[in-house]
Structure 1
Amino acid sequence: MRLRARGRPLVVAVALLTGLAGLSVGAQPAAAAERVVLSKGHTDAVDVHLEDGVLSLQVHDDTVEPAVSRDPADVIFHALPASAAAVPDHPDYAFLGPAGSTIWLLPQIQNPDLLWPGWNTTTLENGVFRGDEVTISLVDVDGPGNVWVYMEDAIGLPLHQFRSDDGLPDALQVPVHTHAHANWAFGATGTYTLKFQADATLADGTPVSTGPVDYTFVVGDLTGSPPPTEINLDIYGLEDSYSPGRQVNLVAATDIETELDHFHWFSRCPGAAEFTVIAGEGSFSYQFTATEALNGCQYKAILYDDDHNAVAEADPVTLVVEPGHDPGEPGASQAIVATIRDSDGALVVSVDPDDRVVTLPAATLGANGDRLASSGALRPVTVTDTRVGKPGWNASGQVSDFVGTAGNFGGRYLGWAPEVIAQAAGQDVVAGPVAASGFTSGNGLASGALLGSAPSGSGRGTARLGAVVSLELPTDTAAGEYAATLTLTAI
């Protein structure tokens, strides 16, 4: 599956299958993941990370064992109806409303029956940022009521961190190695979108920013809460015009990560009333040869779920085919002006859609007798960079939890040793470092790891990356079938 991105990371998913001695481990094709609802327990909602110079916001979900990192777009934070509380009868709390009126509160001190969200910079190292701090900002709030995030001092009075009732954005300077919790108060029930952003300046003076990141909070009953994230589909690759005989390469790409990969392509040529399906074209890409007869034809792609329901439809694109021109009499000439913009081109990461399942051999008892172990080869990953500016790129991977019929186990048990299989002349692609399994310590690939990179000035072209993936598990892992998804990202 290949995704093309403009101004955002691009991702591609690879299924992982393995077998353990005494148990069968496999994978079924996964449907589009529904958003995870977090209603109780500890979570660092705004979890700041820096990887390969890129600042990002994640959600550290500690409500599961082992804890996992999630994309904020995949999470709904749920303030249960039981979070309803009365506004204190104290003038310093009048910002919440009249004394005794109802707000919905996720408290600073953990209540095991409610969600306990916070923010976290503990993965950030000293000396990386100027002042050893980052700025976390609440940029915007869209919802049925106001939102207040505040702490309480030693005598119980509020210390405001973010509040939407007096204007946004609100910025909070947070040192590295900080793990904090606060009161999250909401003025009404319903669905809220909170936009958080993290900014910092690297020690060398380079500014880094996550840009605004949407967080969804549902306060009260989940009835009527938002459905799984809407998928938008776009078509890339179409040029302004083609001469007869040239190949046309169309790529349908979603704006968010999805496991769905069942496409149909449709065409409608001048004079036709309706779009008709193009037989045999069921993948994300469609290639054909331009002819004069196809001039003015329109093409679109539709993405379907496992029940063959359409979940996303791309706007049609129109093919322009220009006939060849007679060069004219000798001595005739024309001026030709070509403009190439630095922003043109694309960064594409791909795996063969028919070869993206990694099947590990049956695991055996390790030499020390303390773990089950298996290893195998990652399917080749192709990174193609056609951007004229040669900005360089990083390709990385992050694995989900393994989900099985007999239970789950964390993705931290998977590690890899990357390698560069091939690269184009002039490229200087480097394999990422070994990321060991987190069997004894660490998070393995659960927290993401670099697969390969190309520095600025030497990334343009096509490179193929691979890795030896290694799985190490406790010897008491329950027998059953398990599956995980490795998401590859190129930026």
Structure 2
Amino acid sequence: MGSTPRRSLRRRWASLLGATTLAVTASGALACPAGAATDVDYPTHCVPPPIAGIPDIDGTTTGRITADKTSAKVGDTVTVTYTVVKPAASNPTDLALPADIMTPTGKVTLGGAQSGSVTVTGPKKNDPVPGKGAFPSFSMTGTFTVTSPGAITLSPGDYNIHTSYILELDTPCTVKNPPAPVSETVTATDNPPANTRSIQLGSASGAPGAAVTVTGGGFTPGASVTLAGRSGAAQTADKATVTANAQGAVSGSLVVNDRTTTGVVAYEGGAWSAELGAGPVAYVVVDDTPVPPGSQKLTTTVKAGTLSMSQAGDAVQLSAVDFGTGGASTGNLNAVTVKDFRGGPAGWSLTGKVTDFSGPGGKIGAGKLSWTPECGTKAGSPSTCQAGSAGVVGGTGATLASTANGTLTGGEFTASARLSLDVPAFTPPGTYAGVLTLTLT
């Protein structure tokens, strides 16, 4: 007699639990900035846990997909969110359901320029549901890497609700006519590869009319490459053309007549550009004007130095964040000192890129690290340091600081940045570390 009430209570809890998981999974969508994506409806087929004793349900899900960036470059990491906006069912019982019993997982379907799917997960979190009340919405997030340029469509996919209430149960829901309608689109563009073109000069100076040997590499095989004199930001009349070999190497000579030439460049295309050029490499035109009778020509030499950098330290401890809250983990990049003692016309660029942050719970993507660069110039320096733009550092890199080409460049500079790592709210506790690499060119 005593066992009968327990069996009855178990049946009632099982029935209640099955209805809960089923009703919630009948709807799916993503949380996103207001107005940034489109709510879409799509038919779903949900299978409740067998213990619930409830038949399969075919319902309509209203979902929304959003992305943290709708304009991206190949190689960028995009975070997507899939939210259940309007569940297809409500609580079928008069019993209230407790909070925080549901853990959702799912897929976002990629289409257009990039195919595949994105795994998304959500926290174990839901508001209490009163008897006969509407089920709450829920959100799941995940990331993918852009691999192809073009319009990448995002559509809601299958999802599953795991419930931890009396028993551990799953209710999978599938899209009946995949793919579901497109809810969001990410427009991706090519991310041009780094410019690896470089040149070297056979001599650093010469009299007017002397030929200087120019060699280099990294050019497009078979491309026509222009060798030219440079005076600050302007090209001089000194010019020659060579053809890159099958390995992208060039070799030729440039006759330098223009006494204003302060450097030599090489480039592909009809005009100089930083994307398709190399140099400028410093070159001095020696004044060979004859000395008048009764006069003495006095000369001295200022030796060109190097472009170098040093940093104040090799470790940065970012501030801690709380599990369940996440958010900005902040700190300051160790100061970097750049010394440009070359004395030529070339400026410089200091860039940084970061790896994913690895830890006990997996990884925090490199795209989650942003910085706000700062740069100062030591008094008396010919060049002026420009701080890079605030934004994502990521695995493809961003500019920390730079100086422009000029008639005479150089000086001493200090660069730093305020760092901020966007830690997802439910990242498992532990220490996560990534490596930020700085490159001076």
TM range (shorter): 0.3 to 0.5
Pick 1 or 2: higher relative contact order, CA cutoff 8 A, min separation 6. 1
| Higher gyration radius (CA) | 2
Give TM-score, length-normalised by structure 1: 0.32
**TM-score, normalised via structure 2 length:** 0.35
